[in-house]
Structure 1
Amino acid sequence: MTSDTEVLFHIFTTIDGAGEGFRDQERDSRVTIAALARTCRAFKEPALDVLWKNINGIKPLISCFPQGVVGKTAEGKLTLGRPPFADEWKLLEQYACRVHSLTIQAFHLDQISDEVVQALVSTPSFPLLPNLRRLEWWNDRDCFFPLLRILLVPTIRSLTLRGSPYMRWSPSFAKSALLASIGVRYPSVREFNCTFDSKENSDVVSKAVCDWHELVHLQTGVLNTQALAHLASLPSLESLSFMTYDSAADTQPQSIPIFTSKLDAVSITCRCASVVIVERFLIHRIPQTSSSPSRSASLQSLSKSLSNPRMMLMTKYLIINVLHFDVIAPLLQFSRLTVLDLTWFCSLDVDDEALKYMAQAWPQLEELYFEFSSQSLVLTSRTFTGLVHLIKYCRHLHHIQMRFVACSIDTDIEPFSTTTANENLTFLDVGISSISNPIAVACQLHALLPNLTHVEYHEWDECTPLPFQEEWDEMNGYLQTLIKSAGIREKRQAK
């Protein structure tokens, strides 16, 4: 049975959330809740719980001290005129115990003086925020680490340690010392976001990861084999993002174990030399049906052969930016792919037969982005035949971006002769593809893609036209003529 206090808490939470995302409305909502807290005793406790549940910066806590204690420096920073007394700490404690979520950004720390930091670090024996569940620390400066340490409590469930949303933590001894025991000291962590720019901290981060047994979301830097094996065994894990270095050694498929958890998202960033290769895997769970496997998802991450019976073909959406085809091959297991992005797959040629194999493995494809770099003139052996394989085996395709050699092929033999036209495919972007015999290419395209009105292509740059640009323009002209002719025939037949 729900108590009156719980009902009031839910009501005040709804009021607080009504202005979320809009600064003025958010301020008005909190003013309303503060007024309710002063209305009567029944409202006071649930209203204060809502007001203090999520706070930003240290200022709200310092404001709990009496006016004679709190002041401002000549630079406008919040400061303390003297150290708070024991009874003044108790005044802060009655509000601090309500805080469940705290966000600290660099500008919050710039607003407080050294005296504030020293006072907080010297708090009495009780934890400053004893019921903290989520801490986001967006600051890279080691000088504030004493403050960070007193904010960390065993009740932490979600922990973010970064320089900014777009900046990783720069490595330092102070950071390594903090991370060395973070897993043991804070065992309740379910979400962890901490990424370094180098692999010096790999061991300490990996050790922390191995100490967490109920992780749900992890975004971090380089992980060793032991940490990956531990993560692979966690049934709670839903999303994983980590980095690898020295791709010649670290990106071997066998270095990544089988993940049997219900992963929704996996991101692997590989840095090697001056080239950054990103390998992303966004895997959305498909609802259970009577014909689907009893287990909802099993991610086979770059590791086993296609014949492995433990593979569960449940992947729906996959984005990959990769370098080597041997990384792609194990992913052919994901037969339910609908979107495939191989945008940076430009250092390795995939011929018509390989493309046919891929098309057969992914029959549910709806969108394909393949080797599409407009800044690369790497020759490709893929021809119009490869495109025909895609049209033949991927009947749901409606969007293709792919480079190939557009040429005349024999339409009386396979695969062209056995391929049914795809009326859904209306977008084809050939990037910087070469072309010969534009009129033959136009006829072939129109026969297979009757609703395709034109082909997109990329210019090399603003000053230099695309090689074969004139030929593609000519092909588009022929394609328009064929479409008009087909339209006239349909009208005559209708009569």
Structure 2
Amino acid sequence: MSRPPAIAVLDSPEVSQKILEAILESANGRRALSRLARTCRAWLDPALNVLWRELDSLAPVIGLFPPHLLKKTRRPGLGLTTPPQEKDWEKILKYGERVLRVTYDELPNNVSTSIFPIFEEYRPRTYILPNLQHLTWKITTPDNLDRAGLFLTSGLQGLVLHLGGAGTKFPTLPTFLADLGGRMKLQSFTLNSSVSLPDTFTDHLLAQDRLERLVVVAPGALSPTVGKWAAYLPRLKSLQLDLSSRSAVTVNGFFKEVRDWRDLSTMICEKFGSSLSYLRIGATLSSKYGDLVRSTSRAAAAPAPSRLSLEHLSSLPVLRTISVDLPESICFTAVDVARLADVAPNLEEVRLCPLARFSPATPPQLTLENLAPLVKNCRRLNTLAVVIHARPGSAEASATSDSLLWLHVGHSWVADTLQVAILLSHFAPHLETIKWFLERNRPGFNEANARSWQKVSDILPHLQNLRLTERRAAAPAQKEVVIEYVEVAAPRPSTSDKAIDATVMTVDREVEARPSTAEFSVQVAPSSRNRATQASPSSVSIGIDATPLTAETEVDATPQTVETQVDATPELVDIATSATFGLFKRRTESLGREDVALDTLNVRP
């Protein structure tokens, strides 16, 4: 049973890759790819490869450690609580092979620096991201420079190194560059530094002969040694330097001799002359920003014009577009334009610093007449942007172009509007748009020139119509071809009577229409896998002594007693009555002095 074409097309790895990339670029693309990887086993590996091929932080890699090692599971960049064991690296080693591009930025502080010593000491293999192709390392402290060596694999193709922090020195930069030059062959290298380049910068990078893109933005990047080294890179296609706030002497000293710039021009034409279709010579973003700051200041004067010579260019037969946009190199001469017209006859778009400003003392060197070689030799030229000094003059009658439709003159000077309009109507009779600088609140605006170009724009359409009418009138008359049709009677054909046998002949014929069949059996038994998961929760037996604490306290409640004996024996007095008064009296007086046994007395009343 054949599969539908919509399903069969997914067998192509290229188609699958395009589908996954389209999903990734859509809204919530990473979440959609993650769900796809968890849903379909066939899409698991391709989806994970796309998800993990480019990371903007090291936090996802750190998050692959087991949760019990992380300080905070929701913020893995905070680091680990304990060093990992060998089995804790399994996921990192598995997913690390899928990472192709990674970025580390120290400023957001979303990754703790404590993770790097753990990577260096406990990693089970030399590189935890063995297939890394591009590394972006943005740091502000010197200690983090050497830590980039953990990711400098032998297969690394691109390195972007940002060394920030005003006044911060990086003493290990020469050692780092030496290690970089001897370990790998880069295709792209970017160095953006606030500190000066070391004196041995080019010596350490001499082995990097495969560089195709080079960006150096740092103090000392315009030294002659750097320029000479860059000029002899055989595969260099893109060179970016920061020319902001640089004097003409410094810029010219980048190539210490004219021979070096000539060698670079010759190399470009020899190596890429047969295939180069687009050539752009531009400034860095920081250089453009500096020029913008100068241009927005009322007191800022136009920079001193300098020249980037185009005389040393050779044959560029397939070049379609050339664009030069350098804030400092804004001066072009008639020799440059003539050379460009000779070496690149198939040019369609030419832009030579169209927004350049010239001081009143130094007008542009190019005139409208100097553009005649471009108009004459480049028959496909449709866009031209250049600053000129439009003085009255005349051009050759043969210098005209039917393809030139768009002209941008920027801050160009103009003297006689009528003469300029006449010359433009001859150069470009089909010109549709002419543009000049109109922003009144920007430095460099010259109201007189703006009004003059407005007059040229108003006059030009009428002169173009007149020019085209003159050319049609001057064109040689075409021969008129007249075709006349004459009616001629056809001769009558000869006739004769003949008999024709019109009996229809029939033939019986049988055709066996048995279709050919074939039996196919397809076993659709799904592949299955038995997997047992032990879900026994981990338990811990804990015994708690719940016996309450008791204390015995005895209180002696024996009352304090005092024994007191009282003699309650009454005193007895035996009184005997005697008739003898004297005796009674004597006896009474003797009471209290001595004990007398009265019972012995025989007293009778």
Residue of structure 1 in register with 2:367 after alignment: 383
Q: What do residues 172-220 of structure 1 show as CA deviations (whole Å, max 9, x unaligned)? A: 2133332222222x2254443334355423624x234323454454444
The offset of 1:69, in angstroms, is 1.5
CA contact under 8 A between 1:202 and 1:224: conserved in structure 2? Answer: no
- Amino acid of the structure 1 residue aligned with 2:387: R
The offset of 1:491, in angstroms, is 11
CA contact under 8 A between 1:342 and 1:370: conserved in structure 2? Answer: yes
Q: What do residues 313-347 of structure 1 show as CA deviations (whole Å, max 9, x unaligned)? A: 76433334696547322125546543333455887
Tell whether 2:342 aligns with 1:369.
Answer: no
Residue of structure 1 in register with 2:379 after alignment: 395
CA contact under 8 A between 1:340 and 1:368: conserved in structure 2? Answer: yes
CA contact under 8 A between 1:16 and 1:33: conserved in structure 2? Answer: no
1:239–1:409 CA distance, 2 compared to 1 (3 A):
closer
Q: What do residues 27-84 of structure 1 show as CA deviations (whole Å, max 9, x unaligned)? A: 2112321444xx6xx9877776666554443333332332222122999953322222
Residue of structure 2 in register with 1:62 after alignment: 62
- Amino acid of the structure 1 residue aligned with 2:457: N
Aligned mates of 2:18, 2:338 — CA distance in 1: 54
Residue of structure 2 in register with 1:404 after alignment: 388
1:100–1:216 CA distance, 2 compared to 1 (3 A):
farther
Q: What do residues 111-167 of structure 1 show as CA deviations (whole Å, max 9, x unaligned)? A: 233443442232245224152332423422334345423233334343332369xx9
**Which sits farther off after the overlay, 68-77 or 391-400?**
68-77
Tell whether 2:396 aligns with 1:416.
Answer: yes
State how 1:79-158 maps to structure 2 within 5 Å. Answer: 79-89=79-89, 91-92=90-91, 94-95=93-94, 98-106=97-105, 110-124=109-123, 126-129=125-128, 131-142=130-141, 143-145=143-145, 147-158=147-158
Aligned mates of 1:423, 1:195 — CA distance in 2: 46
Tell whether 2:178 aligns with 1:180.
Answer: yes
- Amino acid of the structure 2 residue aligned with 1:466: E
Q: What do residues 340-395 of structure 1 show as CA deviations (whole Å, max 9, x unaligned)? A: 33455887765556644543444333223335345324323543422334322332
Aligned mates of 1:388, 1:8 — CA distance in 2: 53
SS in 2 for 1:430: strand
1:341 to 323, 326, 347: 323
Aligned mates of 1:46, 1:438 — CA distance in 2: 65
State how 1:270-285 maps to structure 2 within 5 Å. Answer: none
Aligned mates of 2:106, 2:189 — CA distance in 1: 22
- Amino acid of the structure 2 residue aligned with 1:398: N
- Amino acid of the structure 2 residue aligned with 1:317: Y
CA contact under 8 A between 1:432 and 1:467: conserved in structure 2? Answer: no
- Amino acid of the structure 2 residue aligned with 1:249: G
The offset of 1:9, in angstroms, is 8.5
Residue of structure 1 in register with 2:24 after alignment: 20
SS in 2 for 1:30: helix
Tell whether 2:237 aligns with 1:255.
Answer: no
The offset of 1:420, in angstroms, is 4.9
Runs of 5+ unmatched residues, structure 1: 1-6, 264-282, 284-296, 300-311
Aligned mates of 2:43, 2:413 — CA distance in 1: 73
Q: What do residues 462-484 of structure 1 show as CA deviations (whole Å, max 9, x unaligned)? A: 38652243333333333233345
CA contact under 8 A between 1:34 and 1:47: conserved in structure 2? Answer: no
1:132–1:223 CA distance, 2 compared to 1 (3 A):
farther
2:454 to 464, 473, 483: 473
Residue of structure 1 in register with 2:36 after alignment: 32
- Amino acid of the structure 2 residue aligned with 1:192: F
**Which sits farther off after the overlay, 320-329 or 63-72?**
320-329
Residue of structure 2 in register with 1:448 after alignment: 427
- Amino acid of the structure 2 residue aligned with 1:150: L
Residue of structure 2 in register with 1:298 after alignment: 271
1:367–1:61 CA distance, 2 compared to 1 (3 A):
closer
Where is the helix percentage greater, Structure 1 or Structure 2? 1
1:27–1:107 CA distance, 2 compared to 1 (3 A):
farther
- Amino acid of the structure 2 residue aligned with 1:88: D
Aligned mates of 2:106, 2:381 — CA distance in 1: 49
Aligned-pair identity (%) = 16
Aligned mates of 1:11, 1:92 — CA distance in 2: 29
SS in 2 for 1:81: coil
The offset of 1:233, in angstroms, is 6.6
Residue of structure 2 in register with 1:210 after alignment: 206
SS in 2 for 1:148: helix
- Amino acid of the structure 2 residue aligned with 1:394: C
Aligned mates of 2:342, 2:262 — CA distance in 1: 26
1:401–1:238 CA distance, 2 compared to 1 (3 A):
closer
1:60–1:15 CA distance, 2 compared to 1 (3 A):
farther
1:375–1:75 CA distance, 2 compared to 1 (3 A):
same
The offset of 1:24, in angstroms, is 0.9
- Amino acid of the structure 2 residue aligned with 1:203: T
**Which sits farther off after the overlay, 172-181 or 358-367?**
358-367
Residue of structure 2 in register with 1:425 after alignment: 404
SS in 2 for 1:330: coil
- Amino acid of the structure 1 residue aligned with 2:423: Q
Residue of structure 1 in register with 2:198 after alignment: 201
CA contact under 8 A between 2:223 and 2:254: conserved in structure 1? Answer: no
1:35–1:350 CA distance, 2 compared to 1 (3 A):
closer
Q: What do residues 427-463 of structure 1 show as CA deviations (whole Å, max 9, x unaligned)? A: 2233333334433332332233221256332247338
Runs of 5+ unmatched residues, structure 2: 1-10, 284-304, 478-605
Aligned mates of 2:215, 2:17 — CA distance in 1: 29
Aligned mates of 1:318, 1:20 — CA distance in 2: 32
1:180–1:257 CA distance, 2 compared to 1 (3 A):
farther
Residue of structure 1 in register with 2:510 after alignment: none
- Amino acid of the structure 2 residue aligned with 1:470: R
Residue of structure 2 in register with 1:308 after alignment: none
- Amino acid of the structure 2 residue aligned with 1:160: V
Aligned mates of 1:83, 1:366 — CA distance in 2: 63
SS in 2 for 1:26: helix
Aligned mates of 1:10, 1:402 — CA distance in 2: 44
Scaled by the length of structure 1, the TM-score of the pair is 0.69
Tell whether 2:309 aligns with 1:327.
Answer: yes
SS in 2 for 1:329: coil
* Structure number, greater radius of gyration: 2
1:52–1:316 CA distance, 2 compared to 1 (3 A):
closer
CA RMSD of aligned residues (A): 4.6
1:170–1:28 CA distance, 2 compared to 1 (3 A):
farther
- Amino acid of the structure 1 residue aligned with 2:370: G
Aligned mates of 2:266, 2:310 — CA distance in 1: 21
Residue of structure 1 in register with 2:291 after alignment: none
